[in-house]
Each structure stands twice: as structure tokens, then as C-alpha cells.
Structure 1
Amino acid sequence: MIFASSRLLTSNVESFQTSPACSLVVAGREPSQHDRSTATRRGSDSRSGPKAVAERAQANSTVTAVEPSELTSASNLALRQGVSAWYASDFQSPDTFTYHLTPKDIAELEAAANGVEHKETKDITKSDFPLPTFGPKLEALREEVVNGRGFYLIQGLPVVTYSVAKSVLIYWGMGLYWGHAVSQNAKGHLIGHVKDIDLPGGHKDPVNRVYATHGAQPYHCDPADVVGLLCLKQAKSGGLSSWASSVTAHNELLRRRPDLAEVMTQGWFLDRKNEVPPGKDPWFVVPPFNYHEGKLAIFYENGFYQSAERHEQVPKLTQQQHEAISVFDEIASSDKLRLDYVLQPGDIQLLHNHQIVHTRSEYEDFEDPAERRHLLRIWVAPPDGWPLPEAFAERYGSTTIGERGGICVPGYAPRIALEAD
């Protein structure tokens, strides 16, 4: 389902109250009418507040066993139920997942930014950036993203009136209310610039990170609990943002092809794309499907599976793995699951990587370099993150809640750049 930019109302988040780093592990059927009605009821649950968020989080951890006759060899797998197992039809309008900034919110952000302009941005802490009424809303949004549906859109930051430096500063300040920012690349970027920087080979070179090109990004999860994307400038054409519930995609795969679902519980090799932590191989291994402490955490990086094959020591993807990628992507990109949105300047997209897969279409830029598509990205380890299995430490550096995630390499020094490099 595609949503174009439209007039959006202030979301019910207005009523929310304050909520009180790099081990190696290697290793259907169509939805029934009951499934559809359950999904519809689940998607229509728009209750707000910490109690409602906690109730939805408990529902998200519910496991429904599948009959052995349906599972065949994948008898250890289970369908997941809860608010995170949504379908596109659960959202008839972006109003249902959008918070529109109020004049008071913006005034608080600008006042906080003005008070710390003299400081190095990366050294600014939450206490340096007071948001008396908007801060609790940001924290409530984070709770909904982590323990609810897995995504949210914030709209209305007036970036067209800001310099890039001011946008970076304000975005950093907002991120302090979501958690601990982690490095996004070998350069130590804590705020990343999603922009085509004319890398040699572009998106076709397997070593290049696709976010620094105009190429299409396949479905993936980022190596951090939460990712936030702030749009500064749109492309001339293309650059459509799409996302789907990886929990629902897991369920659909389990229903249709339990043999392939079982394959996705095994360890898969992924490429580090030359961003190698100390003492590590240039590849790592994490299963796509991970069951841990009552939750299903997805780690899916389509392009990184393919590029890992460039290493001699890495086995080629098996026929079953190729098929699992194909079917999983087909499910995630189907109209039943996929949500599309054209990010406008001032829009912020928040996604929980353990229950959402996202993608971006190829785009064409304007000829003027100053008008190129430009997004700011932040990766965050929130204080209320999920418990993760030890396999994640191979990519996340550790599984410590509030600290894990990101990319650390020799010579790494965290920094915040004002331009893409």
C-alpha cells in the first residue's frame, strides 16, 4: 500500500505520558478468514500510553504452535501473533502511524539547540538538551517502535529553514531521547548521510555500502536496534521507502514453505564489506530467524549474503538459501505486507530492525549537487531494547541492551560529520 504525502493530523501520541560492542555461531497456505480478522482487530488497536504499550508488548511475545502436519521438518518453529504481525490492510491512512510536530515541539527543539551551539555535537548529552514536554513524547514513540508495531513516522520538522548543521544538531538532540547512538561505518559516523557520493563502481561494486549510492537497496535490517531517517531533500524521481513486518513475512513463509523457514533458522554468512572489527574475519554468521526469550528477532541482509560469496573461505549460497531469499522477498514486497511512503523534507521514519525489513527504490538526482537527495540517519541502542541471542554479538559487538550495535573497526573514532564523505 502506497501513501503519498498528505495533510496529517496530530497523532494520539500527544496523550502519551513520560515512561519511567564486536563470537561466531554457524550453524504454505494463504491466511484464513480468522487470520485476517485477527490482523484487522490487532491493527485497529490505537490505544496509547505506557499501559497500552506494555499490553501490546506482551501480546507480541505470544507463540502459537503450528500443527506438526503443517510443519514437517520445521517442527521447532512457531507462528507469531501480536501487534508486530501486521498486514498493510491494517493501515488505511498514514494518520494511523504518524505524529505531526506541534509549534510547541518545534520551539522546544530550537531552544534546546540554541543552548548548545557552542558544544561539539557528539559530546552533547540528554541533560544538555532539555525538552520538557516533547522529550516524553519522543520516549513514548520509541516505546511504540520497540514494543509495538515496529515503526512510526514523525512529520513537520522545518528543515527547509535550517542549515545542514542545525538539522544535524536538532536530530542528534532528538536521538538522545531514543537511546545511545552507535557508529554506522568505518569512519565512525554517529549521524550518517544517506546520499549518492559518486563512489567508484557505485551500487554495483559489492564492497560499497548502497546507502552512499543511488542504487536500489534490497530488503534488509540495519545492525542496530532502531534506525531513524530524517529527510532533508528529495530525489528528482524515485527513492521510494518501503517496509514490511518481518514477523508477518516469517509467518507467511512458515505457512507456505516450512522447509525454507527452517533453513532461515540456521547460520548464514554475511559480508562485512571491508569494515572489519579487530580480530574478526571479513565476514560473520547470524541466522535470519532467531527465537530468544519468547521473542522472534529477525536479522536479514539480502545484499550482504550475496556479497559474502566474494570471500574464498565462505561457502556459496545453497539452492535452498537462494530460494528462501527469493520467497521471503516476494512475501515482504507483496501488496499484502508492504507499506510505501515518499519521504518529504522534514519527515522522520523510525524503524525497529528486529521486526521490520525495509528497502529503497533506485532514484535519479537533480543535476545540481546541492539539490541531491539527502537523508540523515541515526542508529540507536534504546534502553528498553529486546534481549538478543549471543549470535548477534558477531555483528553488534555485544548483546548488552543500551550499548550494542554499530560498526567498530581499528582506528575507529566516533564523530559527526556535516557532509557526506
Structure 2
Amino acid sequence: MQQIEPNPAQNLLSPQTLTEASLSADIQLLQSLAAKVQPWQTLEVSGPQGSVRPFSLVQDPSAWLASDFKVNPEVFIHRLSDAEVSELKAAVAAVLQQGVQQQGNLLLLLHAKLVTETDFPLPKLGPKLKAMRENLRSGRGFQLIRGIPVEQWSNRESVIAYYGMGLYLGKANPQNRKGHLVGHIKDIGHDLSNPMTRLYATNGAQPFHCDMSDIVGLLCLKRAKQGGNSSWSSAVSVHNELLRRGRQDLVEELAKDQWYLDRKGEIPEGKLPYYRIPIVNYHQGYLSVNYSATYYELAQRHPEVPRLTAKQKEALQYFNALARSDDLRMDWTLEPGDIQLLYNHTMLHNRTAFTDHEDYNERRHLLRLWVSPQGDRQLPQCYADLWGSIASGSRGGIICPGAQLTIPIEAE
């Protein structure tokens, strides 16, 4: 089996190089690699999730192709009815009537006021959100919701509504060193060239990755002037396609306990500034993928972290190229009032770079939730180094020393 040698000097995963030209280069890479190997004629098949055997083709609803949904996107979109919008508005109004303490940009103790779904009653929408949660973790792994009335609300009302909806999905996790339980995806002028910069605070492209939670949700408040489009792919399908192309050697490489990722300075107490976790994880019959494109290269700044080998670089290149391929990639432009929900164990997502409006208040702005539902799949112990725990319902997020959990109403 002939293998292509990646160029060690070429940083294919940098946000500065994630362009239409690099997408074309990925397609050429796939064609080149496919021409050099013979696809396996017979492959072991297993599944669904819960009965997956290592290095077998996974048959599961999460192993989809883009063609399964592009013709009929309505199957993964829920449009809020008038009744659902009304009860959402009523739930927000009830919270405000009870009083929400605010200090500067922060909603103090909102997370103590809204603890369970009973604190934010949604009799019609709530059961549907729970059904979506189950489809995320046991079905296709993604869902879109349309019609959240954000254009009728202030940021404060949108934040309260979104946090309340999240109670039906799971427990919210902090997303940065400041302990933000609702994240704000907005360009606030952070330096894109600084490797410590979290890309969500810039207008740069975000390469394919998984977030640090079981489920990630994005609510669009404002669109960019141009660009900022979302994409997602099935990590399970990427796994399957590598096997179909005769590259079990790369799947084995991805499953090794040899992948170091940088924490970008957000270091939990007692932890190193980097962590180690396989990309492909087989555990108790489940295939779970943890992938964050640029973080492997960034971890190379630590002298004690082993250097990426040529085989590792080839595996990253091939994995990323497949995720971005037309066959596996779903593209979407989030409009104000849209929510995108993804299950991080089986889905990958990215966004393109964007040009924004000059008016700060009109800039592209999304709200993000990281949530952990009860009764979710078991994860291998290696996730504890990243998430602090592997117990469902209380795992995930970024917990730094001294951080106080809080909810901002604007990006900071």
C-alpha cells in the first residue's frame, strides 16, 4: 500500500489557510490518496451505536452522507409554531417579572434561578426539545430550529430564552476562563495571529472540530455582512470512509493514545497546559470522536510534547479532507432566530471567515450553549483529563481556578 508523505512545513489546518482554495486542495488531496490505494472488498460491519466493534464499518443513523439530507432539509428543521413562540415569550416574561439581577454586562445568578425545566415551563416546545436531544445522541446527531423571535427581543431576553431552552437538553457548562455559561460568538477584535486567541472572538475561519461538551447549540442573533457560513460533517462517516478507502492504518493511528492538544492557556487546576486524548475512541460498543484541527499543531509549542510524525500528519490531512468533502459536508447559513444543535461525539463542525458590518451592534453574533444531558453514553477515562469528569450530566466545559459561573448579555 503506497502512502503519500505530507509536507511537514505545510500548515493545512490553520484558520488563515482555510479558504476556498484550500478546500479545492483538499479535494485534490483526496483524489491523489484514493488513486494510491485499493479499497477493501470485504469489510466487517457492526452497529448501531452501543454495539460497535473496533475498525468496522459503523451502521448507525449518525453515519450519514450529505445526499441523505440536501434534497429534503425539512426533515432536520423544526419551525416554531405560533403557540410555541407564545409560550417561549411568556416564559421569558415570567423570569423578568420575578426579577433578574444584573451587574454591568453580567446576569447574576440566573443559573441559580433557572435550575430545571420546571423553572422555565414550555408545555408544547419542551417535549419536542427533549425528543431532539434524543435524536442528537441516538439519531443523526444534528438538528436545526427556526423562528426564535430574537429580532423582537433585547440581548438580555434572547439570552434568558436560550438558557431556558437549554434546560431541556442538559446541564450548561462553562465555556472559557471567565466561567461563561452562555457564550457569545462575535468578533471583538482579538488578534487572529495570536495562537492563544479563541477563534470565536474573531472573524477568522474555524476549521473542523468538536466542542468540549456532549451537545453544542448555536443561536443566531445577527448575520455577518458576508460569509460566516456553517458546515458540519459526520465523524462516523469519516471513520467509515477511511476504512472503505483501505486506510485502516490511519484509523488505527487516530485511535492511538498519542494525540496532544493545547489548552490555549485555559488550564484547570492541577492540569498541564495540554492534554492527551485519542481522536477515535471505541468504548463499550460506542464510537466517539474527539477532533480539534488546530490544537494538535499548537501543542507542538511545548517542548515535552512529542513531535507529530509523518504518519500522524497524513492521518490529520486525510481526516480533515474527508470531513470537508462534498459527499460528507452539510453547509448552512444561519439566519437570525435559527438554532443549530450538534452532538459532539459523532459530529464535526466549522465556519468560514466573514466580513462584518461596521456598526458593532449589527455584527455577526451567535449565542452558544455547551450542555451535558443525563443518561448519555459512557466515555473512556481519557475524557476526564479534558472534561474533568466522565459522569453523564456533569461533564464537559472549561473550569479554571477562581472562575465564577456567570451569564453575560454581550460579548466580552
Same fold (TM over 0.5): yes
- Match status 1:261 vs 2:239: no
Letter in 2 for 1:376: L
Letter in 2 for 1:230: L
- Looking at structure 1, the residues matched to 252 and 411 of structure 2 have their Cα atoms a distance apart, in angstroms, of 40
- Looking at structure 2, the residues matched to 231 and 381 of structure 1 have their Cα atoms a distance apart, in angstroms, of 21
Matches of residues 358-377 of structure 1 in structure 2 within 5 Å?
Answer: 358-377=349-368
Task: Report if aligned partners of 2:63, 2:236 keep a CA contact under 8 Å in 1.
Answer: yes
Q: Which runs of 4+ in 1 moved over 6 A?
A: none
Matches of residues 245-260 of structure 1 in structure 2 within 5 Å?
Answer: 245-256=234-245, 257-260=247-250
Matches of residues 72-87 of structure 1 in structure 2 within 5 Å?
Answer: 77-87=55-65
3-state secondary structure, aligned to 1:390: coil
In the alignment, structure 2 segments of 5+ residues that lack a partner are 1-36, 101-108
Task: Report if aligned partners of 2:48, 2:58 keep a CA contact under 8 Å in 1.
Answer: no
- Match status 1:100 vs 2:79: yes
Deviations 1:130-185 (A, max 9, x none): 11121111111111111110000000111111100000000001000001000001
- Looking at structure 1, the residues matched to 145 and 163 of structure 2 have their Cα atoms a distance apart, in angstroms, of 15
CA shift in 2, pair 1:382/1:90, >3 Å? same
Task: Report if aligned partners of 2:49, 2:285 keep a CA contact under 8 Å in 1.
Answer: no
Matches of residues 125-274 of structure 1 in structure 2 within 5 Å?
Answer: 125=115, 126-199=117-190, 201-202=191-192, 204-256=193-245, 257-267=247-257, 268-274=259-265
Task: Report if aligned partners of 1:29, 1:255 keep a CA contact under 8 Å in 2.
Answer: no
3-state secondary structure, aligned to 1:60: coil
Letter in 2 for 1:342: T
Deviation at 1:62, TM superposition (A): 4.2
Task: Report if aligned partners of 2:196, 2:264 keep a CA contact under 8 Å in 1.
Answer: yes
TM-score by length of 2: 0.84
1:411 is aligned to 402
Deviations 1:357-413 (A, max 9, x none): 001011110111111100000000011311100010110100000000000011111
Task: Report if aligned partners of 2:221, 2:364 keep a CA contact under 8 Å in 1.
Answer: yes
2:95 is aligned to 116
- Looking at structure 2, the residues matched to 193 and 29 of structure 1 have their Cα atoms a distance apart, in angstroms, of 46
- Looking at structure 1, the residues matched to 243 and 399 of structure 2 have their Cα atoms a distance apart, in angstroms, of 35
RMSD: 1.9
Residue 272 (structure 2) aligned to one of 259, 277, 281: 281
Task: Report if aligned partners of 1:226, 1:352 keep a CA contact under 8 Å in 2.
Answer: yes
Task: Report if aligned partners of 1:146, 1:384 keep a CA contact under 8 Å in 2.
Answer: no
TM-score by length of 1: 0.83
2:22 is aligned to none
3-state secondary structure, aligned to 1:116: helix
Tell me how many residue pairs correspond in the alignment.
Answer: 360
Deviations 1:245-290 (A, max 9, x none): 0000011112322111111001200000000011110000000000
3-state secondary structure, aligned to 1:185: coil
| 129-138 vs 183-192, greater mean Cα deviation | 129-138
Deviations 1:334-374 (A, max 9, x none): 11100000000000000000000001011110111111100
- Looking at structure 2, the residues matched to 265 and 189 of structure 1 have their Cα atoms a distance apart, in angstroms, of 32
1:68 is aligned to none
Matches of residues 307-386 of structure 1 in structure 2 within 5 Å?
Answer: 307-386=298-377
Letter in 1 for 2:319: F
